[in-house]
């Protein structure tokens, strides 16, 4: 397909920079679809774990052909289907620590990236989207109408993660910080579609900003 035909606002950045919250609100304001690309990587990771397939397994590509993903119309829930099994809402399961710990290695696989990139473009062909992830501005939608790269200090990102995820609230700050850093490093160093700002991305440091301020700043550029 020709990605330039899609209307896309692309928001990338490291974990905890506020992408999901901001992207969701911007999408709501514009009546665009909220496209959480990380949820797709998480759902594939969940499916591989459940089927006992490691990321080094030669069977990953074959397994991916049996797997289908789709979002609820508001983009908030993600459904997984393997073969002709009943479709399953895995929106909660994909947020568990087990999936979070493994998702970066799965997201580094060429077969996984190829499948999900194609699906993300197909979703954006249907209606305008606010896409958030790591490579939405660089690889998936290089012709996006507007590109943003959100950053924040590690301390702020840890605080946000702990506020968002009750299961992280009681874990030591140093542990949560180490997990975030490990994942960011893997996502930034991989050969394929690494986390980085696109040349034309507008960078916003959200450390000292409230969510509403980030949303307003993004809308002001549109
Ligand atoms: O945004 P998140 O934490 O839900 O993303 C989970 C993982 O998925 C993240 O560590 C890297 C991967 N990911 C990716 O490689 N490319 C994207 N566009 C989105 C997420």
Q: What is the residue whose two structure tokens read 């939405």?
A: 136
Residues with CB under 6 A from ligand 1: 15, 37-38, 41-42, 103-104, 107, 133-136, 183, 187
E-strand stretches of 15-137: 33-36, 67-71, 78-82, 88-89, 129-133
Q: Does 219 fall in a domain?
A: no
Quick count: other Cβ atoms within 10 Å of Cβ 52?
Answer: 7
Q: Read off the tokens for 96.
A: 């568990």
At residue 4 the predicted structure's pLDDT band, cuts being 50, 70 and 90, is very low
**pLDDT at residue 134 in the model:** 97
The answer to whether the beta carbons of residues 25 and 149 sit under 8 Å apart is no
| pLDDT over 80 at 5, yes or no | no
Tell the residue nearest (CA) to atom 4 of ligand 1. 38
Residue 46 lies in a domain: yes
Spacing, Cα 210 to ligand 1 middle (Å)? 23
Task: Choose one of 15, 38, 75 to mutate for the ligand 1 pocket test, by most ligand atoms within 8 angstroms of C-beta.
Answer: 38
Q: How far is the CA of 37 from the centre of ligand 1 (A)?
A: 7
Q: Is the pLDDT of residue 7 over 70?
A: yes
Q: In the structure encoding, which two tokens stand for residue 44, read together?
A: 């594939």
Residue 220, in any domain of the structure: no
**8 A C-beta contact, residue 189 and residue 175:** no
- 149 inside domain: yes
Residue 2 banded pLDDT, cuts 50, 70, 90: very low
Confidence (pLDDT) at 183:
93
For residue range 110-167, list pLDDT tens digits in order.
999 999 999 999 999 989 999 999 999 999 999 999 999 999 999 999 999 999 888 8
Q: What is the pLDDT of residues 41-86, one digit of tens each?
A: 999 999 999 999 998 888 999 999 999 999 999 999 999 999 999 9
Determine the distance separating the centroid of ligand 1 and the alpha carbon of 177, expressed in angstroms.
17
| Per-residue pLDDT, 166 | 86
How far does the centroid of ligand 1 lie from the alpha carbon of residue 133, in Å? 6
Q: What is the pLDDT of residues 20-36, one digit of tens each?
A: 999 999 999 999 999 99
Residue 34 makes CB contacts below 8 A (sequence gap 6+) with 23, 24, 27, 28, 74, 75, 76, 129, 130, 132
Alpha carbon nearest to ligand 1 atom 14, residue: 134
How far apart are the C-alpha atoms of 69 and 40, rounded to whole Å? Answer: 7
Residue 221 lies in a domain: no
Q: What is the pLDDT of residue 126?
A: 80
139, part of any domain: yes
What's the CATH number where 141 sits? 3.40.50.300
209 CA distance to ligand 1 middle (Å)? 23
- Determine what percent of the chain falls in helix, strand and coil, rounding each to the nearest 5: 50, 15, 30
DSSP 203: E
Q: Is the pLDDT of residue 104 over 50?
A: yes
Residue 14's domain comprises 3-213
Q: Could you tell me the sign of the dihedral formed by the alpha carbons of 141, 11, 187, 63, in that order?
A: negative
117 lies in a domain?
yes
Dump pLDDT digits (tens) for 186-215.
999 999 999 999 999 999 999 999 999 999
Domain count within the chain: 1
Higher per-residue pLDDT: 187 or 3? 187
Secondary structure of residue 192 in the 3-state scheme: coil
What pLDDT does residue 35 have?
A: 98
Residue 187 C-alpha to ligand 1 middle, in angstroms?
Answer: 8
Among 10, 37, 179, which is best to mutate for testing ligand 1, by the most ligand atoms less than 8 A from CB? 37
Q: Whose CA is nearest to atom 6 of ligand 1?
A: 38
Domain presence at residue 222: no
Ligand 1 centroid–CA 76 distance in Å is 16
How many other β-carbons are positioned within 10 Å of the β-carbon of residue 59?
Answer: 11
Q: How far is CA 8 from CA 122, 149, 195, in A?
A: 12, 14, 18
């Amino acid at each position: 397909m020709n990605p330039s035909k899609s209307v896309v606002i692309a928001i990338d950045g490291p974990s905890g920079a506020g992408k999901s919250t901001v992207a969701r609100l911007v999408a709501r304001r514009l009546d665009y679809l909220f496209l959480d690309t990380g949820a797709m990587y998480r759902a594939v990771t969940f499916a591989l774990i459940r089927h006992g397939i490691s990321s080094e397994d030669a069977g990953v590509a074959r397994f991916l052909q049996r797997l289908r993903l789709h979002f609820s119309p508001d983009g908030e829930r993600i459904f997984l289907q393997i073969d002709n099994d009943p479709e399953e809402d895995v929106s909660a399961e994909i947020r568990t620590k087990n999936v979070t710990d493994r998702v970066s290695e799965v997201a580094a696989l060429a077969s996984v990236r190829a499948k999900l990139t194609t699906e993300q473009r197909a979703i954006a062909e249907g209606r305008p989207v606010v896409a958030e992830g790591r490579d939405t501005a660089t690889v998936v939608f290089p012709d996006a109408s507007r590109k943003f790269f959100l950053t924040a200090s590690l301390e702020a990102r840890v605080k946000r993660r702990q506020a968002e995820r009750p299961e992280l609230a009681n874990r030591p700050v140093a542990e949560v910080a180490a997990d975030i850093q490990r994942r960011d490093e893997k996502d930034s160093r991989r050969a394929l579609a690494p986390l980085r700002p696109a040349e034309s991305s507008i960078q916003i440091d959200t450390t000292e900003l409230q969510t509403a301020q980030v949303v307003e700043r993004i809308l002001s550029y549109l």
